Amino acid sequence: MSSMYYRSLNGKSKKVNFETAVKNGLAKDGGLYFPENVKPLDSNFIKNIGNYSNFEIGYKVIKQFIGDSINKNDLKEILSKTIDFNFPVVKLEKNIYSLELFHGPTLAFKDVGARFMANCLGYFNKNKSKLNTVLVATSGDTGAAVANGFYKVKGTNVVILYPKNKVSEIQERQLTTNKNNITALRVNGSFDDCQKIVKKAFIDKELNKKFNLTSANSINVARWLPQSLYYFFAYKELQKENLVFSVPSGNFGNICAGLIAEKLGLPIKHFIASTNINDTIPRYFKSQVFDPKPTIQTVSNAMDVSSPSNFVRIQEMFQNFKDLSKIMSSYSFDDIETLKMLKNVYEDKNYVLDPHGAVGYLGLKKYLSINPEKIGIFLETAHPIKFSKDVEEVIKIKLDIPEEINKILLKEKKYIDIDDYSDFKEKMFVLKF
């Protein structure tokens, strides 16, 4: 086995192995971890990718990032628990495909990263008596995927903070009906307020001493890197030249994982980062200035992020703006355009998008109008049922409710109300895990 180290992009902390990078989440100097080197895969593997199962592809892609931290058989077992569902590619137009990433247990793409991270942490903690507490702020989908992935994972408790009245009914059910080692805190405030509490908790010595806190958002390498598999799975289905991907982007973890897939040798010609009106990166591509504005609430709520954490990783990979703009473009769209796209695609193609996928489709259309020789795949990142209120209003039909959602609709919601940081801290100390 070979070693793999992660260095902090702030450059002040020591490099660490995969296990430490996962446990720390963020380096001590506040920087994001980045793999020290990314070795391209054997070109024969990519040429013959059609002969490999998703599981085999997963192992080949992921193993260099794990180094010596997990042995071969245990890594295989972790992967088999991570990707045991389908990633269909659906043709919608002559040169447009939808990559459906919502067939996991919580119906959004974050299941892969959350399950991989949960299983890695369970593995690292299996012989330890000290519990880890995973603290996570969510705008809806992350919390659900993390709750599901960490459910009954040994040695870990999960505390989820979500903003009151700002997640959909189904998202709230997914967050609050788990019990066992999962606790939901309903914060009287916005997603940003939840994130502030989490950040403050991480530097609170007293809390850290008692709870051994870990983060579970896409800054964690175990949540971020497995997302590169989607691009391999889609390539395997189509195996075409001239492929481009449009990625509905919020915190830019998913698209950054796509860029890693390209570095590993996957022949992808271009990436389109499609955003809602929280358009810091589309503006960056025009002005080369990173200038976040206050976050605005939209129908694609998982992308309501104005300061995307993972963009520093992208800048690290492409230090020269000319190189970056060769491989990546970024466009933003407002809610009116998004819902109109959703309606048109339903009426013309009988295909129901969710609002995030609709933003991805819009970005792809815009790029293909300038580059008509390309073949495009957009990532359909969530099941439309998660946003049924907006979707049903536009397409004027009732969506069928999947079995896994029906089950949770019958369960009672359980959460603890939180007002501010001191209230949070007080209630943490009386939690019974």
Ligand X SMILES: *Cc1c(COP(=O)(O)O)cnc(C)c1O
Q: Does 248 bind ligand X (CB under 6 A)?
A: yes
Contacting ligand X (CB under 6 A), which of 110, 236, 313, 365? 110
Interface residue with ligand X, options 25, 104, 250, 384 (CB under 6 A)? 250
**Sole window of 152-160, 179-187, 252-260, 343-351 interacting with ligand X (rule: CB under 6 A):** 252-260
The reply to whether 24 sits near ligand X by the rule CB under 6 A is no
Q: Which of 158-166, 245-253, 279-287, 368-376 is the region at the interface with ligand X (rule: CB under 6 A)?
A: 245-253
356 touches ligand X (CB under 6 A): yes
Tell me the backbone φ, ψ of residue 378, rounded to 5 degrees: -105, 150
Per CB under 6 A, does 141 bind ligand X?
yes
Whether 209 sits among the annotated catalytic residues: the reply is no
**Which residue in 72, 81, 110, 293 is the catalytic one?**
110
Choice from 82, 132, 218, 330 touching ligand X (CB under 6 A) = 218
Q: Can you tell me the distance from the alpha carbon of 433 to that of 431, in angstroms, rounded to the nearest whole number?
A: 6
* Binding status of residue 252 toward ligand X by CB under 6 A: yes
**Helices 355-370, 335-349: inter-axial angle, 10-degree rounding:** 90
CA dist., res. 270 & res. 276, Å (int): 20
**How many other C-beta atoms can be found within 10 angstroms of the C-beta atom of residue 291?**
10
- For ligand X, the closer CB: 19 or 111: 111
Name the segment binding ligand X (CB under 6 A); options: 65-73, 249-257, 312-320, 363-371.
Answer: 249-257
381 near ligand X, judged by CB under 6 A: yes
Q: Where are the beta strands (DSSP E) in 192-289?
A: 213-215, 243-248, 270-275
| 358 part of the interface to ligand X, by CB under 6 A | no
Q: Which of 108, 147, 170, 261 binds ligand X (CB under 6 A)?
A: 108
User: One symbol per residue from 41 to 70: x for binding ligand X (CB under 6 A), - otherwise; what is it?
Assistant: ------------------------------
> Closest distance between ligand X and the C-beta of residue 282, in Å?
13
Instruction: Provide the minimum distance between the beta carbon of 44 and ligand X in the complex, in angstroms, as a whole number.
Output: 31
258 binds ligand X (CB under 6 A): no
List the interface residues with ligand X, window 274-313 (CB under 6 A). 302-303
Could you tell me the smallest distance in angstroms from the CB atom of residue 253 to ligand X?
A: 3
Nearer to ligand X, 75 or 391 (CB): 391
For 290, the token pair is 């990173």
And the tokens for 311?
A: 């963009």
Residue 382 touching ligand X (CB under 6 A): yes
Of 138, 228, 254, 329, the one binding ligand X (CB under 6 A) is: 254
Toward ligand X, which CB reaches closer, 253 or 363? 253
Contacts 24+ apart (CB under 8 A), 76-85: 78/116, 78/119, 78/120, 78/123, 79/55, 79/116, 80/55, 81/115, 81/119, 82/58, 82/112, 82/115, 82/116, 82/119, 82/226, 83/54, 83/55, 83/58, 83/112, 83/229, 85/111
**Residues 6+ away with beta carbon under 8 Å from 94:** none
Say whether residue 100 binds ligand X (CB under 6 A): no
Residue 255 CB, shortest distance to ligand X, in Å, is 6
Q: φ, ψ for residue 325 (rounded to 5)? A: -75, -15
Cβ proximity to ligand X, 58 vs 355, nearer residue: 355
Q: 105 is written with which tokens?
A: 């247990």
271 binds ligand X (CB under 6 A): no
Q: Which residues contact 319 (CB under 8 A, 6 or more apart)?
A: none
Check: CB of residue 204 under 8 Å from CB of residue 422.
no
Among 35, 104, 163, 253, interactor with ligand X by CB under 6 A: 253
Tell me which DSSP letter residue 377 carries.
E
Beta strands in 226-300 (DSSP E): 243-248, 270-275
Q: Is 215 a residue that touches ligand X (CB under 6 A)? A: no
| Alpha carbon separation from 323 to 37, 271, 327 (Å, rounded) | 19, 13, 7
Positions touching ligand X (CB under 6 A) are 108, 110, 141, 218, 248-254, 302-303, 356, 381-382
Which of the residues are catalytic? 110
